[in-house]
């Protein structure tokens, strides 16, 4: 991918995004903010602002956007999709940014660790390992979860340390492999 950088700005970043499977339409953004005003995550965390993220990406602030924890906060609820006056899928643009960040090996963020362990867990047993997920996501920060874990333990609500593997796990793995192969062909 061609990259032209000047003063930290990558003038071709928007093209790179629009070539991702879910990145089309980014150049049509009006920066109207409708996506932010309908975003469920923004309503509880104003640091996450899809309009701002998309605009920064359009402006070529590649490093800032890809290294932002914010791209991992989108809940994929798609509320923004219905409201965007330009028919852009803002949540999908965020997913395109995640794909690029992963390709670049930018993985040392809570959101990435959460997503990667989530996938690993599903491909291993077919279920989320709810006991280990906070540890992989928060690392040392998991200490803050201890009081809640104790309360859950006392009420017998702690999830199993190792979830029981589902019977058709091989079908799930084959499906994932098919998706990975398709993705690789598109690159
Ligand atoms: S709603 Fe659509 S056009 Fe408006 S800022 Fe969000 S992505 Fe851009
Ligand atoms: S898909 Fe993401 S950006 Fe869109 S409304 Fe939901 S949380 Fe916000």
| Residues 115, 150 within the same domain | yes
| Residues 115, 83 within the same domain | no
Q: What is the pLDDT of residues 140-161, one digit of tens each?
A: 999 999 999 999 999 999 999 8
Q: What is the pLDDT of residues 22-39, one digit of tens each?
A: 888 898 999 999 999 999
Residue nearest (by alpha carbon) to ligand 2 atom 6 = 77
| Residues 121, 172 within the same domain | yes
| Residues 77, 117 within the same domain | no
Helices (H), 59-128: 62-66, 79-83, 90-103, 110-125
Report the 10 Å Cβ neighbour count for 167: 8
Q: What is the pLDDT of residues 45-77, one digit of tens each?
A: 999 999 999 999 999 999 999 999 999 999 999
Residue range of the domain that includes 173: 110-186
- 6 has which bridge partners? 9
In contact, 34 and 118? CB cutoff 8 Å: no
How many domains does the structure of the chain reveal? 2
| Residues 177, 99 within the same domain | no
| Residues 11, 90 within the same domain | yes
| Residues 124, 89 within the same domain | no
Domain boundary (54, 85, 103) is at 103
Domain boundary (69, 85, 103) is at 103
Span from the CA of 28 to the centroid of ligand 1 (angstroms)? 8
| Residues 94, 120 within the same domain | no
For position 48, which CATH number holds?
A: 1.10.1060.10
Measured CA to CA, the distance from residue 26 to residue 34 in angstroms comes to 15
Query: Does the beta carbon of 33 lie inside 6 Å of ligand 1?
Result: yes
Query: Does the beta carbon of 35 lie inside 6 Å of ligand 1?
Result: yes
Q: What's the pTM?
A: 0.84
Query: Does the beta carbon of 71 lie inside 6 Å of ligand 1?
Result: no
| Residues 34, 98 within the same domain | yes
């Amino acid at each position: 991918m061609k990259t032209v950088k000047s003063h930290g700005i990558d003038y071709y970043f928007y093209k790179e995004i629009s070539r991702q499977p879910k990145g089309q339409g980014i150049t049509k953004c009006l920066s109207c903010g409708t996506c932010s005003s309908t975003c469920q995550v923004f309503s509880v965390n104003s640091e996450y602002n899809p309009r701002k993220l998309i605009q920064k990406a359009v402006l070529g602030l590649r490093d800032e956007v890809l290294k932002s924890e914010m791209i991992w906060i989108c809940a994929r609820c798609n509320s923004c999709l219905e409201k965007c006056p330009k028919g852009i899928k803002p949540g999908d643009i965020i997913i395109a940014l995640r794909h690029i960040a992963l390709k670049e090996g930018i993985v040392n963020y809570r959101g990435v660790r959460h997503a990667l362990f989530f996938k690993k867990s599903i491909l291993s047993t077919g279920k989320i390992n709810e006991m280990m997920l906070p540890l992989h996501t928060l690392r040392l920060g998991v200490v803050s979860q201890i009081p809640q874990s104790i309360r859950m333990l006392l009420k017998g609500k702690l999830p199993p340390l190792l979830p029981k593997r589902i019977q058709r796990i091989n079908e799930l793995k084959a499906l994932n492999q098919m998706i990975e192969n398709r993705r690789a062909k598109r690159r």
